[in-house]
Amino acid sequence: MESTNSGQYDDDSIFSTFQDASPGVQYGYALFKAMSHMLCIGYGQRPPRTTVEIWVTIISMLLGATLYAMFIGHITNLIYSTTSSTRLYSEKVLMSP
């Protein structure tokens, strides 16, 4: 892995190691790059370099995105249920004689 003057790995040298690899390895690297860009995750000086590291990183990104979506969904549901129960309580109190 080549290093540039700033101490960071050269992305082109990482790409060249996967350029002559099998289609499965190339697909894994492409999926890793696409997901890390979509999820705004920067790996800086220590990107995954082996196929196993790439697939473990992909699985951890998917797991993290799923857990984050579940958390946001639960918070939204909590806010919605609190709002609807408050609305129902207010309606019952105002309608009682």
**Which of 6, 10, 3, 65 lies closest to 34, judged by CA?**
65
Residue 33 is predicted with a pLDDT of 86
Cα angle value 30/32/37 (rounded, 5°): 100
pLDDT digits (tens, 9 = 90+) for 54-74: 889 889 999 999 999 999 999
- Inform me whether the pLDDT recorded for 77 exceeds 70: yes
Buried b / exposed e over 76-88, threshold 16 CB at 10 Å, is eeeeeeeeeeeee
Give the C-alpha separation, 34 to 71, whole Å: 24
Domain locations in the chain as residue ranges: 11-95
pLDDT band at 21 (very low <50, low <70, confident <90, very high): confident
pLDDT at 14 over 70: no
Contact (Cβ atoms closer than 8 angstroms) between residue 13 and residue 2: yes
